[in-house]
Amino acid sequence: MPRRNTTLLDKRSLDRTLRRMADEVLELNGGTDHLIIVGIQRRGVQLAERLAAIIKGTEGVDVPRGALDITLYRDDLQTVGPRPVVGPTHLPWELDGKCVVIVDDVLYTGRTVRAALDELADFGRPARIALAVLVDRGGRELPIHADIVGRRSDVPKPQRVDVLLEEVDGRDAVVITAEDDA
Amino acid sequence: MNAPPSVAPLGKDLLGLASLSGDQIRLILDTAEPFKEISERAIKKVPTLRGMTVVNLFFEPSTRTRISFEFAEKRLSADTVNVASSGSSVSKGETLVDTARNLEAMRIDMVVVRHEASGAARFLAERIESNVINAGDGTHEHPTQGLLDILTLRDRLGDLRGRRICICGDVLHSRVARSNIFGLKTLGADVAVCGPRSLLPNAIDELGVTVFQRIEAAIEWADALNVLRLQLERMNAGFIPSLREYNRVFGVTSRRLAAAPRDVLILHPGPMNRGVEIDSDVADGEHSVILNQVTNGVAIRMAVLYLLAGGRPELAGAARRGGEA
């Protein structure tokens, strides 16, 4: 397979997409009351921070954030082995009665979200859980859908969608990579 | 949280710290960090080891270690069975391997074993397919205790390179001392031992540790003391003149610690003989991290169970190819 990288979002379109997603979060919840934004380790956490920063700018409210590492809730420990190292889960908020928006970078099979739902249920009973993803690449293996999608693009299996973020990777971009690059 | 993928898998078993690399030890310590938080949750349980069966096979009495392993197993949702030597067919003369093979015939996945014979864990690991975790074998090693001691030290001291740790007391009979020495030295710490000559192994120098004959000198030197239990059941063989004299000469007392040039962390693997190797006001004092050790013990054991449970080398390739989603 030829090595070809396609840029799905560059820095400017990523910023614009996040601003729209932040608006959609506010619209979905009807404001910032009872809202908690929870990022999935690891790039979901940075995306959640950015959405919260945008909301702070527009609404002037510091929305509570949390971080979720779903490694211990995966269903594939036996088949793919442990993923070193398990990241921290940080959910210091009472979830009962709240609107929790899960944020992740890429929605693919849906198994990560399934695990995140299980983990959240161990922390409390939110009034509503919504899902916001930067990229929905199709390929679902479970009946799961996102409420807020930054960019929808069907990317077939051998290819990878890499979300690069300034905080982790040194630059902002969403790139589609051929698998044999890995 | 991105560990270098070059860290060699732990393999099937955890038998001791002598054979582990620094990267492997750090992997276990780093993996234990997020597990600490699980024990602070309202629901102290994650589904990670659902469907796995772990047998705790204890041929020697143990409270802390057995309960700590059992908490770790249950908080990872494994099914657990406890087998103690009394009240089982072990007391009827069944051998270690026969006991384990019979358990294996009932489809178990892991065995946590404590045995009075040094090398028992390895002997078992070579003969059964289940993962084996050594929970103390004779005077050989007690790797999870060593790891939890090291984690507790790292929590307080940070990087252990160049840090001075002195292991005090009955080093001769102590598997805890050996696991500590191997692990701490691998991580670059300076390790010393202090105790009566009769309670130090003859070839102690070969372990590459400093030997202190006087507890005052050890306290002056050390950043932390790991005070071992004087194994009273072994003390009728003339190792020391009397418990009172031991306390007078080697006891870790607040008066002695007050003379130290810096704050000295105090560790003890338990169970403590208060007033013998350690005084009560030291055990309960502000520099004691003895209960932190117990808390960390559960996290370390969860980390070891987790890493061994998924450590199937033949599937490691699938992990690299596996789709993140």
Beta bridge partners of B192: B166, B210
Give the mean pLDDT of B38-44.
90
Q: Which pLDDT score, from 0 to 100, does residue A33 have?
A: 96
Least confident of A3-7, A159-163, B115-119, B210-214: A3-7
Nearest CA in chain B to A42: B1
Please write down the HEC assignment for all residues of chain B. Answer: CCCCCCCCCCCCCECCCCCCCHHHHHHHHHHHHHHHHHCCCCCCCCCCCCCCEEEEEECCCCCHHHHHHHHHHHHCCCEEEEEECCCCHHHHCCCHHHHHHHHHHCCCCEEEEEECCCCHHHHHHCCCCCEEEEEEECCCECHHHHHHHHHHHHHHHCCCCCCEEEEECCCCCCHHHHHHHHHHHHCCCEEEEECCHHHCCCCHHHHCCEEECCHHHHHHHCCEEEECCCCHHHHHHCCCCCHHHHHHHHCECHHHHHCCCCCCEEECCCCCCECCCECHHHHCCCCECHHHHHHHHHHHHHHHHHHHHHCCHHHHHHHHHCCCC
Q: Which pLDDT score, from 0 to 100, does residue A80 have?
A: 62
What residue ranges do the domains of chain B occupy? 22-142+297-320, 143-292
Residue B316 pLDDT grade (very low, low, confident, very high; cuts 50, 70, 90): very low
Task: Flag if A82 and B312 touch (Cβ within 8 Å).
Answer: no
Task: Flag if A82 and B33 touch (Cβ within 8 Å).
Answer: no
Residue B61 pLDDT grade (very low, low, confident, very high; cuts 50, 70, 90): confident
Task: Flag if A122 and B43 touch (Cβ within 8 Å).
Answer: yes
Residue A82 pLDDT > 70, yes or no?
no
Task: Flag if B43 and A111 touch (Cβ within 8 Å).
Answer: no
The percentage of residues in chain B with a pLDDT greater than 70, rounded to a whole number, is 92
Of B7, B45, B325, the CB nearest to A84: B7
The percentage of residues in chain A with a pLDDT greater than 90, rounded to a whole number, is 78
Coil vs helix vs strand at A57: helix
Residue A25 pLDDT grade (very low, low, confident, very high; cuts 50, 70, 90): very high
Q: Which pLDDT score, from 0 to 100, does residue A75 have?
A: 79
CATH number of B143-292: 3.40.50.1370
Q: Which chain B positions have a beta carbon within 8 Å of A69's beta carbon?
A: 34
Residue A118 pLDDT > 50, yes or no?
yes
- Is B311 in the A-facing interface, judged by CB distances under 8 Å? yes
Residue A31 pLDDT grade (very low, low, confident, very high; cuts 50, 70, 90): very high
Residue B2 pLDDT > 50, yes or no?
no
Q: Which chain A positions have a beta carbon within 8 Å of B310's beta carbon?
A: 77-78, 80-82
The percentage of residues in chain A with a pLDDT greater than 70, rounded to a whole number, is 92
Q: Which pLDDT score, from 0 to 100, does residue B318 have?
A: 41
Q: Which chain A positions have a beta carbon within 8 Å of B76's beta carbon?
A: 72
- Is B310 in the A-facing interface, judged by CB distances under 8 Å? yes
Span B7-19, pLDDT tens digits: 888 889 999 999 9
Residue B87 pLDDT > 70, yes or no?
no
**Which tokens hold the place of B219?**
């306290």
- Asked if ipTM goes beyond 0.95, one says no
Q: What mean pLDDT value characterizes chain B?
A: 90
Span B146-179, pLDDT tens digits: 999 999 999 999 999 999 999 999 999 999 999 9
Q: Which pLDDT score, from 0 to 100, does residue B315 have?
A: 40
Q: Which of residues 290-309 of B touch A (CB under 8 A)?
A: 306-307, 309
Q: Which pLDDT score, from 0 to 100, does residue A42 have?
A: 84
Residue B231 pLDDT grade (very low, low, confident, very high; cuts 50, 70, 90): confident
- Is B2 in the A-facing interface, judged by CB distances under 8 Å? yes
**Between B203 and B179, the higher pLDDT residue:** B179
Q: What mean pLDDT value characterizes chain A?
A: 91
Residues 6+ apart with CB under 8 A from B274: B280, B283
CATH number of B22-142+297-320: 3.40.50.1370
Q: Are both B22-142+297-320 and B143-292 of the same fold? A: yes
Q: Which pLDDT score, from 0 to 100, does residue B323 have?
A: 37
**Between A52 and B42, the higher pLDDT residue:** A52
Q: Which pLDDT score, from 0 to 100, does residue B3 have?
A: 45
Span B97-137, pLDDT tens digits: 898 889 899 999 999 999 999 999 999 999 999 999 999 99
Span B288-302, pLDDT tens digits: 999 999 999 999 999
Least confident of A34-48, A109-123, B4-18: B4-18
Span B234-274, pLDDT tens digits: 777 788 888 899 999 999 999 999 999 999 999 999 999 99
Q: Which chain B positions have a beta carbon within 8 Å of A80's beta carbon?
A: 310, 315, 318-319, 322
Task: Flag if A86 and B34 touch (Cβ within 8 Å).
Answer: yes
Q: Which domains does chain A have, with CATH numbers?
A: 11-77+85-157 (3.40.50.2020)
